[in-house]
Structure 1
């Protein structure tokens, strides 16, 4: 099952929200994410959180229309976003899109990027999408499609990514090289007329498409 989770970071645009709404079978609002959904008349299947960042008026409106509500205390072991992921998995979620998961709170943004890594190890595919970016983790060999001139970056999310290669991009690494954690050596690449292929022997690679 495909799931869209909307969290309380920078609000997604209506265009982005509608685009991903059409891709999924189940919609979860994590706390203030419910406010963003309500603004565009999108009703979540599940509303979760401690609701400390949402006005009582909006919360009452959501409670009248949302199918299921789970409320948690503010002092808890997981963020609202991770609880939303766990509840999505309980309901059969295998592919999960996270919107509203980036923003001015860099601690939350980094934490959410960390969730990509945690849940990949559990066999769950997560993507973080905002109005300017799409982020997900690579497989050891993967082919990427994009429009000519579109930006794409690669970041190591492990101590070392061994023998990392890029082919078909504006800037290639045909012989392979080791890249270290968050090494900027493979950022700001571009698509040409053909797909980009990457491969590596071991490690974890974050792929980031940018649409500025």
Structure 2
């Protein structure tokens, strides 16, 4: 099952949302993310969270799950629901906003849940972000931005193919070196690494 989770951050542009909405079998709003879904003129199937942001009456036919647990945020609640209901692929929108603490926490959640699904990606109007496989092939286009970030300590043994600034058995480490703003040279880019957690951000 393909799931779109919409959080309460910056909304997607209508054309991008339409693609995501068509792709998804189920749309889940994480608390105030419901208002983002409503802006596109449609309803989520489910609103879940502690409901400190969504305070209105839900439209008819929309399921609401109130989970007041303060040890998890609304995104975690939505992803847990998706995992428990056999989701295989998940896109998460609305994770970028005006709160850096929320964004950093959401990256931690991305790492936490990356192994619960066949694929889990954050999507915004610029691109898509996800935890890389040991060998990751990207379908992109020449000139598109590809950024590499070490998410949880050093990432070692990185080898890239068809990036403008190649890495040849090199390492990235927080506070030492990252791979921001690299660039694809061909429609297919390959990135492999031997150890660590590598976050990829790929322009649409």
TM over 0.5: yes
Residue aligning to 1:191: 184
CA distances 1:97-137 after superposition (whole Å, capped 9, x unpaired): 10011111111111111112111244553110111231001
CA distances 1:116-174 after superposition (whole Å, capped 9, x unpaired): 21112445531101112310011111111212111110011132111111111111123
1:131 is aligned, of 125, 140, 149, to 125
Give 1:19 shift: 1.0
The TM-score, its normalising length taken from structure 2, stands at 0.92
Residue aligning to 1:70: 65
Unaligned stretches of 5+ in structure 1? Answer: none
Give 1:89 shift: 1.3
Residue aligning to 2:90: 96
Helix, strand or coil for the counterpart of 2:98? Answer: coil
Q: Is the 8 A contact 2:156 2:172 kept in 1?
A: yes
Give 1:84 shift: 0.6
Counterparts of 2:167 and 2:39, CA distance in 1: 45
Residue aligning to 2:27: 27
Residue aligning to 1:107: 101
Q: Is the 8 A contact 2:123 2:129 kept in 1?
A: yes
CA distances 1:79-103 after superposition (whole Å, capped 9, x unpaired): 1111011111111112111001111
Helix, strand or coil for the counterpart of 2:195? Answer: coil
Aligned residue-pair number: 204
Residue aligning to 1:172: 166
Give 1:184 shift: 4.1
Q: Is the 8 A contact 1:179 1:185 kept in 2?
A: yes
The TM-score, its normalising length taken from structure 1, stands at 0.89
Task: Report the CA distance shift for 1:123/1:13 in structure 2 as closer, same or farther (over 3 A).
Answer: closer
Q: Is the 8 A contact 1:153 1:189 kept in 2?
A: yes
Residue aligning to 1:8: 8
Helix, strand or coil for the counterpart of 2:159? Answer: strand
The structure in which a higher percent of residues are helix is 1
Show the 5 A alignment for 1:140-151. 140-151=134-145
Counterparts of 1:76 and 1:48, CA distance in 2: 13
